[in-house]
Copies of this chain bind each other. A is one copy, B any other.
Amino acid sequence: MSGNTFGKLFTVTTFGESHGLALGAIVDGCPPGLEISESDLQIDLDRRKPGQSKFTTQRKEADQVKILSGVFEGKTTGTPIGLLIENTDQRSKDYSNIKDLFRPAHADYTYMHKYGVRDYRGGGRSSARETAMRVAAGAIAKKYLKVFHGVEIQGYLSQLGPIKIDSVDWNEIDNNPFFCPDASKIAEMEQFMKELKGNSVGAKITVVAKGVKPGLGEPIFDRLDADIAHAMMGINAVKGVEIGAGFDSVEQLGTEHRDEITPDGFLSNNAGGVLGGLSTGQDIIAHLALKPTSSLHIPGKSVDVHGNEVEVVTKGRHDPCVGIRATPIAEAMLALTVIDHLLRDRGQNGGVEHNIPVIPSEK
């Protein structure tokens, strides 16, 4: 209710500021019996963590997660899982010059209006550093979905500024610093990033869940696609979310858009795996638009906390394209959305016998 909890039955509540002592989360509602260890969480944390290439922030954080509760003899017990990551590489003095300024396009101004105060060190709570805990919690959800339901969740960078990918090679994604599934675009992306020189750029991320059974979602307000939109738009810097054909639907005719069905499979997937707010059993596909980060080395016009005109230049260490590291975050948020709906559906419809044909995902 207070904004820092995600989910209804499988809930994640997080705390922590960019330059505070630690980040933490409580994962509540994870069913018992899942084998889980810190190393399972570390895999995705390492994919997200900063300082791994010259294209992300140079802040060095080990992002070593500790599991403090909820796991006994290697398995979840059904009780809440406490997670903790200590911050180690804060450089708070980098921010002293913006203490009284509002960076344009940053949460500085809005946090001050909401709370009357802000922790200006590294963006405080508004920093994307907070997403580390989402990734840690999401790793638990991902493992549960895979082990008990055969669901696989994976994302990739589908566009970096003007550079669009041409093809998706799922095995390429973790081989390059961009989470790009098209090896032929890497050099171009590297060149583009080098030329940014203190500026930043937007990106598009695509994230897919394979193997979700049909019928998940809670009409009419908590539709699966509505909750995915909530999850994705809640990621820092996201300005748009599409399911399946997304904005292309606007110009489509009904005969083009509808995914015809045969006993052997659906003939297309414009729906992106969701109809009437419920999963169809096809791949669930979401696209995210991420804006360029607001922390630039290029001066911009703004005001200070007293209303005076100022010029702002951000120092500190920042991602020139926040979209790059957003891939594991988007995967985590999709996993958290799907597992929550899986538990909700099991609660509300778990006792019903069905005898409905299951259409294969694709012919």
Q: Which B residues are CB-close (under 8 A) to A221?
A: 3-6, 230, 234
Task: Pick the contact of A2: B10, B15, B102, B217 (CB < 8 A).
Answer: B10
Q: Are A278 and B114 in contact (CB under 8 A)?
A: yes
User: CA–CA, A199 to B272, complex, Å?
Assistant: 21
Instruction: Using CB atoms, name the residue of chain B closest to A10.
Output: B2
Q: Which B residues are CB-close (under 8 A) to A262?
A: 301, 303, 309
Task: Pick the contact of A21: B68, B75, B257 (CB < 8 A).
Answer: B68
Interface residues on A, range: 35 or more
A313 at the interface (CB under 8 A from B): no
A211 at the interface (CB under 8 A from B): no
Most buried by B among A3, A13, A125: A3
Most buried by B among A9, A218, A276, A292: A276
A283 at the interface (CB under 8 A from B): no
Q: Are A261 and B302 in contact (CB under 8 A)?
A: yes
Q: Are A289 and B247 in contact (CB under 8 A)?
A: yes
A249 → chain B closest CB, angstroms: 4
A1-30 interface with B by 8 A CB criterion = 1-11, 13-17, 20-24, 26, 28-29
Interface CB pairs A-B, < 8 A, 23: A1-B29, A3-B222, A13-B28, A31-B352, A77-B118, A104-B259, A104-B261, A105-B257, A107-B275, A109-B359, A110-B278, A112-B354, A112-B356, A114-B349, A201-B254, A204-B250, A229-B230, A240-B242, A240-B247, A261-B303, A262-B309, A303-B357, A347-B347
Interface contacts beyond A2-B28, A31-B349, A263-B303: sample of 17 additional A-B pairs, CB < 8 Å, sorted by A: A2-B11, A13-B26, A15-B68, A17-B70, A20-B68, A24-B69, A32-B352, A79-B124, A110-B276, A110-B277, A201-B253, A229-B229, A240-B246, A245-B291, A255-B298, A307-B357, A346-B350
